[in-house]
Amino acid sequence: MHENDPEWLAFLEEYSQAHPNLFKPKLCRPLLLLDKFVHFGIHGKHMCSVFELMGPNLLDVIQHYEFSDKRMPLWLVKKIARDTLMGLVYLHERCNIIHTDLKP
Residue 101 designated active-site: yes
In DSSP terms, 49 is beta-bridged to 36
Question: Of 35, 60, 69, 101, which one is the catalytic site residue?
Answer: 101
On whether the CB atoms of residues 28 and 1 are closer than 8 A, the answer is yes
Non-local (6+) Cβ contacts of 104 within 8 A are 58, 59, 62
∠ Cα 65 68 70 (to 5°):
60
The residues annotated with a catalytic role in the active site are 101
